[in-house]
Amino acid sequence: DTGVSQNPRHKITKRGQNVTFRCDPISEHNRLYWYRQTLGQGPEFLTYFQNEAQLEKSRLLSDRFSAERPKGSFSTLEIQRTEQGDSAMYLCASSYGLAYGYTFGSGTRLTVV
Amino acid sequence: GQQLNQSPQSMFIQEGEDVSMNCTSSSIFNTWLWYKQDPGEGPVLLIALYKAGELTSNGRLTAQFGITRKDSFLNISASIPSDVGIYFCAGAGSARQLTFGSGTQLTVLP
Per-residue pLDDT of chain A (113 residues; tens, 9 = 90+): 579 999 999 999 999 999 999 999 999 899 999 999 999 999 999 999 999 999 989 988 899 999 999 988 999 999 999 999 999 999 999 988 666 678 999 999 999 99
Distance, CA of A30 to CA of B87 (rounded, Å): 27
Mean pLDDT value across residues B62-73: 96
Distance, CA of B90 to CA of A43 (rounded, Å): 9
Q: What is the pLDDT of residue A72?
A: 85
Distance, CA of B2 to CA of A95 (rounded, Å): 22
Q: What is the pLDDT of residue B77?
A: 98
Q: What is the pLDDT of residue A98?
A: 61
Q: What is the pLDDT of residue A81?
A: 97
A66 at the B interface (CB within 8 A)?
Answer: no
Contact A100 B31 (CB under 8 A): yes
Distance, CA of A55 to CA of A10 (rounded, Å): 28
- Beta-carbon contacts of A99 under 8 Å, excluding residues fewer than 6 positions away, are none
Does the pLDDT value for residue B33 go beyond 70? yes
Proportion of chain B above pLDDT 70, given as a percent = 95
Distance, CA of B3 to CA of A35 (rounded, Å): 16
Distance, CA of A50 to CA of A53 (rounded, Å): 5
Picking from A65, A60, A63, A110, the residue whose alpha carbon sits closest to that of residue A84 is A110
| Of residues B3 and B80, more confidently modeled | B80
- A:B CB pairs within 8 Å: 64
Distance, CA of B79 to CA of B108 (rounded, Å): 7
DSSP classification of residue A85: G
Mean pLDDT value across residues B15-44: 94
One-letter identity of residue A89 = M
A43 at the B interface (CB within 8 A)?
Answer: yes
> Quick count: other Cβ atoms within 10 Å of Cβ B16?
11
Q: What is the pLDDT of residue A1?
A: 55
| Predicted confidence band of residue B12 (pLDDT cuts 50, 70, 90) | very high
DSSP annotation string for chain B: ---EEEE-SEEEEETT--EEEEEEESS--SEEEEEEE-TTS--EEEEEE-STT-EEEETTEEEEE-TTSSEEEEEE-S--GGG-EEEEEEEE-SSS--EE---EEEEEE-
Per residue in B76-105, pLDDT (tens digit) is 999 999 999 999 999 987 767 899 999 999
Burial of A104 (0-12, 13-18, 19+ CB in 10 A): buried
Chain B residues touching A45 at Cβ < 8 A = 97-99
Contact A31 B88 (CB under 8 A): no
Picking from B67, B61, B69, the residue whose alpha carbon sits closest to that of residue B45 is B61
For residue A20, give the H/E element and its range: strand A19-24
Q: What is the pLDDT of residue B57?
A: 96
Per residue in A7-23, pLDDT (tens digit) is 999 999 999 999 999 99
Chain B residues touching A41 at Cβ < 8 A = 2, 100, 102-103
Picking from B15, B34, B13, B14, the residue whose alpha carbon sits closest to that of residue B23 is B34
